[in-house]
Amino acid sequence: MHSVLLIFIVLNCLLWCFQGQTASVSSNHPRLPMPLHSISAEHISKDFYYAIEKSDRSKDKLQRKLLHFFENLQKNLTMSTVLSDFGKSDTSAENYIVRIHELLKFFYEASNVFEEFSNDVEKFYEASKNSSHALLLKLRQVPTAQPKYVKVLLTNYFAEMEFFNIMFSEIVNDAMEYTVGTLTAIQKIFFYYAEAQSFILHNWKLKLNLECRELYVDFLQHHSAKIFECAAGHNLELTYDVYAVTKLNVKYIMKQLEFRIQRLFNCFIFGSYAIQCTFLNNADRDFENLFIKLAELEMYLDIKTKTGLVSVLRRRRGRDADEFTKADSIIDKCLLNDFPRNQISNRLKGCFYNF
């Protein structure tokens, strides 16, 4: 029993000594002596890592769904494909219907995958805020029977970390607002476009002669490409970037916070804070690098999401945050006025029984 416990402690010490070293090297802090015996625990909840995995998987799924869209559009909707049974007009009309339903289905499905990614990425951001907050609360678990001056130092340290936690949550909120807002906008556009196609097929009723088939396929090719490019082109690239950079920084920050908590626990467990806890004397200094990291992330978000909008949003949040929705501006830009009624040529209009 004793030897098992001892091995456990030694293994944990190895883990923490190693992490402690890498963390202090990368953050330019003077290397802190690690206690020989330290009791360690995992401080970051599994939910945090699980949320990252899940949103990564949704992102991959989305990327797979959208891959080769333009080639597929071309392939699926060229007249030679659509009329592959040329001469037997019944089967080629059937083939035609199949093709345009496949396109419709594609936009419905992609819309769902956008929604999934959006939900999962939101959960990841929420889990990050939770995780940072949970680490902060761990500080409350430090044994309370301490000399008065140590209590004062601990209070300062807690205040510093609390302030960091507030800033961190704000910036995660910015990233979340941008990412979820954009993804939701794209999802709505895809859904709307699928609904429009469905409406045309069910309500206007297409004539299936050769000329009409050709006109409608041209219409679909043109608008599908345009809407896809507008909604899921540059906006989406930017969203992937923001997600990736935020995730990287959040993971780093979480590890650093975890390291700080563990270091604190270690010195109190053995009551040797005079030697082990010198960082407590200077809480600002101990958090300096983390604040710099956060400021860099904020600047990145500001630049990427344009014109310092992020900080404007932050100042206004809570009061009238709903006033500005990025989603609406993307939808307005990509879905033209009264689509599809205004975009259908007179010749194509003649192709519907009930236009």
Residue type, 326: K
Q: Which residues, in sequence order, are CB contacts of 143 under 8 Å at separation 6+?
A: 268
Sole window of 102-110, 174-182, 323-331, 346-354 interacting with ligand NAG (rule: CB under 6 A) = 102-110
Instruction: Give the residue with the Cβ less far from ligand NAG, 103 or 310.
Output: 103
Which of 123, 251, 293, 314 forms a contact with ligand NAG (CB under 6 A)? 123
Which of 106, 164, 192, 300 forms a contact with ligand NAG (CB under 6 A)? 106
CB atoms within 10 A of CB 24: 18
Sole window of 71-79, 197-205, 229-237, 290-298 interacting with ligand NAG (rule: CB under 6 A) = 71-79
Q: Report yes or no: 334 and 195 within 8 Å, Cβ to Cβ.
A: no
Q: Is 76 in the site for ligand NAG (CB under 6 A)?
A: yes
Instruction: Give the residue with the Cβ less far from ligand NAG, 101 or 349.
Output: 101
Instruction: Give the residue with the Cβ less far from ligand NAG, 126 or 195.
Output: 126
Q: Is 97 in the site for ligand NAG (CB under 6 A)?
A: no
Instruction: Give the residue with the Cβ less far from ligand NAG, 26 or 72.
Output: 72
Instruction: Give the residue with the Cβ less far from ligand NAG, 66 or 150.
Output: 66
For the chain, counts of helices (H) and of strands (E): 13, 0
What distance separates the 2 farthest-apart alpha carbons in the chain?
95
For residues 310 to 339, the per-residue mask of contacts with ligand NAG, x marking binding by CB under 6 A and - elsewhere, is ------------------------------
Which of 21, 22, 26, 72 forms a contact with ligand NAG (CB under 6 A)? 72
- Rounded to whole angstroms, the Cα distance separating 120 from 229 reads 24
- 172 by Cβ neighbours in 10 Å (0-12 / 13-18 / 19+) ranks as buried
Q: How far is CA 326 from CA 112, 302, 310, 333, in A?
A: 20, 14, 11, 11
Question: Tokens 């906008």 map to which residue?
Answer: 185
The contact set with ligand NAG (CB under 6 A) reads 47, 51, 69, 72-73, 76, 102-103, 106, 123, 126-127, 130
